[in-house]
Amino acid sequence: MKFFCNKSELVEKINIVQKAITNKINSSVLGSIFMHIDDNNLTMIGVDTDLSIETKVNAKVVEQGKLFLDSKLFGEIIKRLPSDKIEIKNNELNKKNIIISSGNTEFNLLNLDSKEYPQIPQVDFQNKILLKQSIFKNMIKSTTFSASFDESKGIITGVLINIKNNILTFVALDGFRLALKSEIIDNNEDINIIIPARTLNELNKILKETDDLIEIYLTNNFIMINVNNDKIVLKLLQGDFIKYDSIIPREYKLSVIVSKYELINGLERSTLLTKDKNNNLVKMEIREDKLVLKSHSSFGQLKEEIVIKKDGIDLDIAFNSRYLVDAVKSIEEDEIEIKFNNNITPCIIKGNKSDSSKYMVLPVRFIV
């Protein structure tokens, strides 16, 4: 085996494939990258239980072969090589070793046994969906933070992805909040799948803000996304998602329209007094044309007034401010609308002019 490749391209592709390399399991097999060299390509594969990635790097191939190297070590070595031109070949004196050289630097590494490395899951290429990268990326960013990341929570560690009547919908919830994002797309397929939020977040790091199309293929257990010639296979969660429609309030006694940026800034200031990041309690007092934010701790107190447009009852209510900030930041409009019923039922947060993003947050009980 012998080939040459470009350092910057190899580093970029290693960063992609490493997103499928597990850190949770003490396994030299799943902690490694499998590579095979043929024609003019270096193909790199990373496989985890929930996420698998196959990516290709342009290479000048002199002799074909296979590589199986520790992911972290290989990545660190390539990043630190002095020249952009890299040569990788078998060590003629010891066939179990390989030589990585660049400029005046040469590494001699053990080529691991790849016989036990799992295969990347096979996905049926018949059912293809085309979607803009930017749309898929934005849908992930707008919802995954509301999923549960406690693996004991089962189905709500995933994001429901639904396509029906040319509308793509993502839904995530964790028992304290819910995120719903919808987009009109040019696709008449009907799908209803659940993908772990953790693997969607890894996919989001690969996707770019571009209108280039990605190809999506579905089977019963996996979804494969082909983006920039990288194949990304995500395992689906099995089961029925919570019937979220039944828990979203339909009627409201109070509507507040407020500047997105003023509310975010006020909420973020309210957390400055709190050391416990899991208990960022903020109280809202809504009267006439003002929303008053109040927070306190052993370090002091905050009171901040924000001008609003109010329609409905007066209300005192409290929330975990982090949940509110996550929701408000995800709305693209400059003005948001918040709808309430009372201080023990959830509020709904949305754009003032659009229902494409909708967030539900449960309040925190407080003592007057």
Express each pLDDT in 71-130 by its tens digit: 999 999 999 999 999 999 999 888 889 999 999 999 999 998 888 788 888 887 777 889
User: Could you tell me if residue 216 is inside a domain?
Assistant: yes
Q: Cβ-count burial of 331 within 10 angstroms (0-12 exposed, 13-18 middle, 19+ buried)? A: buried
For the cut 80, the answer to whether the pLDDT of residue 280 exceeds it is yes
Instruction: Count other C-beta atoms under 10 Å from residue 281's C-beta.
Output: 18
Quote the CA–CA distance of 139 and 116 in Å, as a whole number: 36
Under the banding of pLDDT at 50, 70 and 90, the label for residue 48 is confident
Average pLDDT score over residue span 228-237: 93
Domain boundary among 110, 143, 172: 110
Note whether 196 and 274 are same-domain residues.
no
235/256 same-domain check: no
Measured CA to CA, the distance from residue 238 to residue 82 in angstroms comes to: 47
Domain CATH code at residue 274: 3.10.150.10
State yes or no: pLDDT of 25 exceeds 60: no
Of 186, 212, 244, the position where a domain reaches its end is 244
Does residue 282 sit in the same domain as residue 326? Answer: yes
Question: Residue 115: CB partners within 8 Å, gap ≥ 6?
Answer: none
Tell which residue, 20, 27, 328, 322, has the closest CA to residue 176.
Answer: 322
Residue range of the domain that includes 296 = 248-361
Please report whether residue 97 resides in a domain.
yes
pLDDT of residue 84: 95
> pLDDT tier at 276 (50, 70, 90 boundaries)?
low
Q: Considering the chain, what percentage of its residues have pLDDT values greater than 90?
A: 80
d(CA 366, CA 356): 32
> Could you tell me if 101 and 146 lie in one domain?
no
| Total domains present in the chain | 3
Q: Are residues 355 and 264 in the same domain?
A: yes
Q: What's the burial of 68, exposed, middle or buried (CB within 10 Å: 0-12/13-18/19+)?
A: buried
> Does some domain include residue 86?
yes
**Which is more confidently placed, 331 or 300?**
331
Q: Is residue 102 part of a domain?
A: yes
Q: Residues 167, 196: one domain?
A: yes
| 325 belongs to a structural domain | yes
Q: Is the separation of the CB atoms in 255 and 339 below 8 Å?
A: yes
Q: Residue 197: pLDDT band by 50, 70, 90 thresholds?
A: very high
Closest by Cα among 75, 77, 102, 76 to 88 = 102
- Tens-digit pLDDT profile for residues 30-47: 789 999 999 889 999 999
Q: Average model confidence (pLDDT) for the chain? A: 92
**103 and 153 assigned to the same domain:** no
Note whether 156 and 198 are same-domain residues: yes
Inside any domain, residue 122: no
Considering the domain architecture, whether residues 56 and 132 belong to the same structural domain is answered as no
Looking at the structure, do residues 255 and 240 belong to the same domain, yes or no?
no
Least reliable range by pLDDT among 162-171, 187-196, 257-266: 187-196
Q: Are residues 308 and 343 in the same domain?
A: yes
Q: Which of 69-73, 114-118, 135-139, 303-307 is predicted least confidently? A: 114-118
Examine residue 115 and state whether it is found in any structural domain, yes or no.
no
139: nearest Cα among 332, 321, 324: 332
SS3 87: strand
Asked if the model's pLDDT at residue 277 lies above 70, the reply is no
**How sure is the predictor about 24, in pLDDT bands with cuts at 50, 70 and 90?**
low
Band (pLDDT 50/70/90 cuts) for residue 268 is very high
Mean pLDDT of 312-320: 96
> Which helix (DSSP H) or strand (DSSP E) does residue 234 occupy?
strand 230-235
Among the candidates 244, 269, 292, a domain finishes at 244
DSSP assignment letter at 278: T
Burial class for 329, CB neighbours closer than 10 Å (0-12, 13-18, 19+): middle
Instruction: State what percent of residues in the chain have pLDDT above 70.
Output: 96
Note the pLDDT of residue 113.
83
First to last CA, the chain: 74
My answer on whether 153 and 65 are in the same domain is no
In a domain, 273, yes or no: yes
Q: What pLDDT score does 275 carry?
A: 64
